[in-house]
Structure 1
Amino acid sequence: MSWFATLTRSVTLATALTFISPALWALEPTDEQREVAVEIADSLRYGHYADITFDDDWSSEAFQRYLDNLDGQRLYLLESDIAPYRHLETQMADLIFEGDIDDAFALHERSNERREARLNWLLERIDEGLDYQFDSDERLEIDREEANWATDISELDALWEKRLQNAALTLVLADQDNEQIETTLRQRYEGQLSRVEQTEAEDVFGLLMAAVTGTVDPHTSYLSPRQGESFDIQMSLSLEGIGAMLQADGEYVKVASLVPGGPADQAGVLDPADRIVAVGQEDEEDLVNVIGMRLDNVVDLIRGPKGSVVRLEVIPAKAVDITRTRTVEITRDTVKLEDQAAQSEVIEIERDDGQHKVGVITVPTFYVDFEAWQAGEDDYRSTTRDVAKEITALKEAGVEGIVLDLRDNGGGALQEANSLLGLFIDRGPTVQVRDARGRIQLYGDSNAGTHYDGPLTVLTNRLSASASEIFAGAIQDYGRGIVVGSPTFGKGTVQTLSDLSHGEIKITRAKFYRISGDSTQNRGVEPDIRFPMDIDPERIGESSLDHALAWDSVQNVQYRRYGEPENYLDTLINRYQARAEDNPNFLYLERQTELSRQLREQHTSVSLNREQREREMQAQEAEQLALENQRRIALGAQPLEEWTSAQVDSEEENGSEQAKEEEEDVMPAERAQVLEAAEILLDYAQLQTAQRLANRE
């Protein structure tokens, strides 16, 4: 860098940190945005399912949420920066309804100025040369969401000095030398600075409206014209990308769910709750840091032509140290209907009385080929049609019962939940939908007859959502089968998309209720027999989201009970527990979830001392390795020598045939759930048979 550039930056930096002057072209709301703000406020008041009171408490919550959107970790703004806008704490509601959003824009402008000054400060520090010894006893607090706002620049200078040192130490531990570290960090901060400088009025308005709508419920949101276009593409599943639904999570972009059959799902390198920190293309050496980047901009970086490769640097969902990241590669592709189709298998179970067959049908999503259906084609694809074919094949194979695997099924077409239920019951209601006025509509199956009336078990997990919950709840309410696994997601609300004069609003207008009257909202469906959680409910699920609508109930409807599985539950649970006590995978799932939670609670800061940091990392990895090796030894497999070898979904091991061969003897914990569901189903079928024989006598 030239002496002139360095001098210019130093002068700019000194000025910025001592006196924040008004920007030469301050971003101001447009008349169009003022009008849309009023439209959104009216939509929330008159169109939202919940009865929202726009009072001082709501204003305070919306203002706090806006501050979190601007500076959630308390890294840039001073208390004195916020003080002139504290009136928004009590007046936010009134001002939004009046379209008076100037002060909110001004606060964003102040935040941008502070952010720009801080990034220049970081670049200046890098220009001076980073010569850290990493031998101090200092620690860096990881999560500052609850921290007080700094009262002067020196506080933030000290904090950022630690953050810069931590960033450098993380790269040292990734085997980068000084020159590489300075290059990496300079590119990171220059990229962030460039994004700040490119901020547009639509960006500011989007952040403000995210605070407004997010204070009402997590599924209501404003979509700018550009975001609306991305939303339409995602809903049609024609997006050429990685097949993952993403959402904003503070300054990060988080993987909300994977599209069944999509590239990320098939590659097996991403998990829900993974946070994306950088994105790169196959022909580019450097990754673009996306921390703090707008969600739609991150989506644009990830999206690309079919067959091309995208590189993602992520913080794994189960990572204890958020400074430890890994890079994965995914080949972009389109999501094909056939990749989401239901599939079946026959599991053979050996018992004292001989060999038994149980059928398992995996249902990744509730899908229908709408175009073929609307065109009147006779052979259009749908979940119900494909499951019916699999049932026929399983009956011909002589299975004694069927397990429907709805794990990771995030829902889809409601009509398919209704018609799928119709394969197992002879007509009847499936779900109640209640709107904001209290009016209830009943949906269900009107076709006579059943396709399968034998023993049935439904397997769920935390990612079973929406239509999956409706189906599982109906099976439970009808007494048609047993639900096993983990409590479901708890997504029991209905959203519609409405046009605004500028953009659209996705707004919650109704709620789902089971035929028993219970809502699926927030609580989800509680299984009859509960397996250890393989997903942390504090990170994934409706109850983990801010301002999620509460659970409640309505009047039940009349429906026919097909059985009384609860009469067998005590026996089934006892038999399950006896097997689970000796099941290495179930023990692993239970202990692994608890260990991850304990490590996160203990790991509230990171050491800036290299030796101490390495000791802490080794201790954490040793605990995780010990747990993994307990499972492997119990399964008769070779224990691992180091924790990194356990990352079988990493980029290197995915391409290693040797690694795959070594893992063949190690049953995935998720597979153990399917096998146990089959065992429970067989127990259930045999108990029913015994009861029928006893009744005849």
Structure 2
Amino acid sequence: MNRKISLGMAVTIVILAMTVTFSITMLLAMRLFDSTVSSVKEKESMYNKLAEVDRYVRGNDYYDIDETVLYDRLSAGYLLGTGDKYARYYTASAYTDLINVQNGTLLGIGVELAIDQSGYAKVTKVYTDSPAQEAGIKVGDYITAVDGNDVKSMSGVDAVQTRLRGESGTSVNVTWLDSEASEHNADLTHSGYTATTVDSALLQDSVGYIKIWQFDGTTPSELDYALRSLTASGATSLVFDLRDNGGGILEDAISCIDLITPEGTLAYAEDKYGNRTLLGSSTGESAIALPLVCLVNGNTASAAELFASSLRTLSGARLVGTTTMGKGTIQSSPQRLSDGSAVVVTVAKLLCGDGSCFDGTGLTVDVERSLTADEQTSYYDFTLDTDPQIQRAVSTAQQLSGTTTVGGVNEAASSAAAEDAGADSEVSAESESAAESEAVSESEATSFEASSEAAESAASSNG
């Protein structure tokens, strides 16, 4: 039986609905107002404090104030005060230089540098057909001055590289010392050259070695070429050297991982509210079936850590070296401000495909191989044949593929005896030849070491 609602009842229901809606709206509005007022009061307090400091300084400071420098330092200090250790402030000129470098307007001289114990900039890589190569600068040389300015007075490698940059056709005066400590000086004209991010070589006739310096737009194609070349040359295992790789462009790192791993999820971005966004997956179409090793250290960071973690999770790769940096966050692209400056802030946490996160902890290795104090001093002098960490990675790769040579096993056993061998025992147990190495006599070990040293001394320096 249908019942009709009286007009009075209908009006009452409408009034109740309006009352409830109004109450909820007012409650939300009051909360928003309270939040806004609180925010306004906090900002007012901050501005009042800055104004108070400004009044006192301008009224009493002996020195004149450079307004541009003051505003830049205030902006940089604000980001520092947020507690975001990866936030960065670019002055207007620094941001312009950044854009020009990315666009190819500003060019370097074609070298990679590192500041070692000497305090000068040691050349660790020279690019083909670059101004540096044409001038005769070689790996192992030291750049001591740029345009007459002593390198020791500059604040780090980035400052040296900045001094070396210039527009195409312009020149920079460079002073350097060669391997015999002979000084050279030349004006190098900036011109185009190809800056590669991947180097590769076949070691001990069976181990494919791939050094990835950083991840950018050219890295996926360079890595693909290296993988094809090494497998065609008969590589039975692969070693990826990610030491000192600070990351780069995350999307390009994910593309590189896709070239190697089987099908699977690779990474998520998680915002501060816990919301996750899928960053990429591997199709598995070009999965590498060979045993894999990733060589890492404390300067392996961000996208490079994701690369190593993904290869371990999806492809069973072994990590050799030392614990990585632990930078598992994602930063924004530079946000340009009205005066031409720019800021970068952390926008999300980087999660691996399995949901794990290495931020703050880094990736622990499967085979520990740290450098001794003497080895650290000689770090930039090592070649592919003399680098003890590369030797350990190669030995691990050979054990995984079952192609370990007696000399290779002996090197691993000797290194393990000099340091904590706990992590290595698991890998050694997987190889029958590794067990046999324990039976090598002392005289044989001496013979193997002498042969290894002879081979190392004959090897040429690798760029």
Question: Would the TM-score normalized by the shorter structure come out above 0.5?
Answer: yes
TM-score interval for Structure 1 and Structure 2 normalised by the shorter chain: 0.5 to 0.7
Residues 124 and 139, structure 2, Cα contact 8 Å, conserved in 1: no
User: How far has the Cα of 1:384 moved from its partner?
Assistant: 2.5
Residues 260 and 340, structure 1, Cα contact 8 Å, conserved in 2: no
User: How far has the Cα of 1:681 moved from its partner?
Assistant: 0.4
> Is 1:680 matched with 2:396?
yes
Q: Aligned residue for 1:561?
A: none
User: How far has the Cα of 1:524 moved from its partner?
Assistant: 2.5
Q: Aligned residue for 1:365?
A: 214
Instruction: For 1:363, give the aligned amino acid.
Output: I
Residues 434 and 510, structure 1, Cα contact 8 Å, conserved in 2: yes
CA distance 1:453–1:335, change in 2 (3 Å): farther
CA distance 1:237–1:675, change in 2 (3 Å): farther
CA distance 1:512–1:242, change in 2 (3 Å): farther
Q: 510, 516, 523: which is aligned to 2:348?
A: 510
- Which has the bigger relative contact order, CA under 8 A and spacing at least 6? 1
Q: Aligned residue for 1:391?
A: 227
CA distance 1:509–1:226, change in 2 (3 Å): same
User: How far has the Cα of 1:494 moved from its partner?
Assistant: 1.8
Looking at structure 1, the residues matched to 373 and 363 of structure 2 have their Cα atoms a distance apart, in angstroms, of 20
Q: Aligned residue for 2:336?
A: 499
Q: How many residues align?
A: 350
Residues 292 and 315, structure 2, Cα contact 8 Å, conserved in 1: no
Looking at structure 1, the residues matched to 48 and 266 of structure 2 have their Cα atoms a distance apart, in angstroms, of 43
User: How far has the Cα of 1:264 moved from its partner?
Assistant: 8.5
Residues 257 and 307, structure 2, Cα contact 8 Å, conserved in 1: yes
User: How far has the Cα of 1:335 moved from its partner?
Assistant: 7.2
CA distance 1:228–1:391, change in 2 (3 Å): closer
Q: TM-score when scaled to structure 2?
A: 0.60
Q: 86, 95, 108: which is aligned to 1:228?
A: 95
Larger Rg: 2
CA deviation vs aligned residue, 1:487-538 (integer Å, no higher than 9, x gap)? 22333222222233333221111121223433232333222212214xxxxx
Larger mean CA deviation between 427-436 and 387-396 belongs to 387-396
Q: How does 1:218-617 map to 2 (within 5 A)?
A: 218-236=85-103, 238-241=105-108, 261=127, 268=139, 280-281=146-147, 287=149, 301-305=163-167, 308-311=171-174, 331=188, 333=190, 336=193, 338-348=194-204, 357-368=206-217, 382-496=218-332, 497-502=334-339, 503-533=341-371, 589-591=372-374, 593=376
DSSP 3-state at the match of 2:395: helix
Looking at structure 1, the residues matched to 297 and 132 of structure 2 have their Cα atoms a distance apart, in angstroms, of 19
CA deviation vs aligned residue, 1:595-638 (integer Å, no higher than 9, x gap)? x8xxxxxxxxxxxxxxxxxxxxxxxxxxxxxxx8xxxxxxxxxx
Q: How does 1:186-197 map to 2 (within 5 A)?
A: none
Residues 388 and 451, structure 1, Cα contact 8 Å, conserved in 2: no
Looking at structure 2, the residues matched to 472 and 449 of structure 1 have their Cα atoms a distance apart, in angstroms, of 19
Instruction: For 1:303, give the aligned amino acid.
Output: R
User: How far has the Cα of 1:203 moved from its partner?
Assistant: 0.4
Instruction: For 2:336, give the aligned amino acid.
Output: D
Instruction: For 1:210, give the aligned amino acid.
Output: A
User: How far has the Cα of 1:103 moved from its partner?
Assistant: 1.7
CA distance 1:223–1:398, change in 2 (3 Å): closer
Looking at structure 2, the residues matched to 218 and 245 of structure 1 have their Cα atoms a distance apart, in angstroms, of 25
Residues 421 and 471, structure 1, Cα contact 8 Å, conserved in 2: yes
DSSP 3-state at the match of 1:509: strand
User: How far has the Cα of 1:391 moved from its partner?
Assistant: 2.0
User: How far has the Cα of 1:679 moved from its partner?
Assistant: 1.1
Residues 345 and 361, structure 1, Cα contact 8 Å, conserved in 2: yes
Q: TM-score when scaled to structure 1?
A: 0.42
Q: Which runs of 5+ in 1 are unaligned?
A: 1-45, 47-53, 55-90, 114-196, 247-252, 314-325, 349-355, 369-381, 534-588, 597-627, 629-646, 650-665
DSSP 3-state at the match of 2:68: helix
Q: Aligned residue for 1:201?
A: 67
Looking at structure 2, the residues matched to 401 and 303 of structure 1 have their Cα atoms a distance apart, in angstroms, of 39
Instruction: For 2:208, give the aligned amino acid.
Output: G
CA distance 1:245–1:530, change in 2 (3 Å): same
Looking at structure 2, the residues matched to 394 and 509 of structure 1 have their Cα atoms a distance apart, in angstroms, of 38
DSSP 3-state at the match of 1:501: coil
CA distance 1:280–1:453, change in 2 (3 Å): closer
User: RMSD of the alignment, in Å?
Assistant: 4.9
Q: Aligned residue for 1:614?
A: none
Looking at structure 1, the residues matched to 187 and 400 of structure 2 have their Cα atoms a distance apart, in angstroms, of 42
Looking at structure 2, the residues matched to 509 and 418 of structure 1 have their Cα atoms a distance apart, in angstroms, of 18
Residues 361 and 390, structure 1, Cα contact 8 Å, conserved in 2: yes
Instruction: For 1:500, give the aligned amino acid.
Output: L
Looking at structure 2, the residues matched to 452 and 223 of structure 1 have their Cα atoms a distance apart, in angstroms, of 41
Identity, % of aligned positions: 22
User: How far has the Cα of 1:225 moved from its partner?
Assistant: 2.5
Q: Please state which structure has a larger fraction of its residues in strand.
A: 2
CA deviation vs aligned residue, 1:3-45 (integer Å, no higher than 9, x gap)? xxxxxxxxxxxxxxxxxxxxxxxxxxxxxxxxxxxxxxxxxxx
CA distance 1:530–1:93, change in 2 (3 Å): farther
Looking at structure 2, the residues matched to 242 and 447 of structure 1 have their Cα atoms a distance apart, in angstroms, of 39
DSSP 3-state at the match of 1:432: strand
User: How far has the Cα of 1:470 moved from its partner?
Assistant: 0.9
Instruction: For 1:200, give the aligned amino acid.
Output: D
DSSP 3-state at the match of 1:402: strand
Instruction: For 1:231, give the aligned amino acid.
Output: L
Q: Aligned residue for 2:419?
A: none
CA distance 1:221–1:476, change in 2 (3 Å): same
DSSP 3-state at the match of 1:478: helix
Instruction: For 2:397, give the aligned amino acid.
Output: L
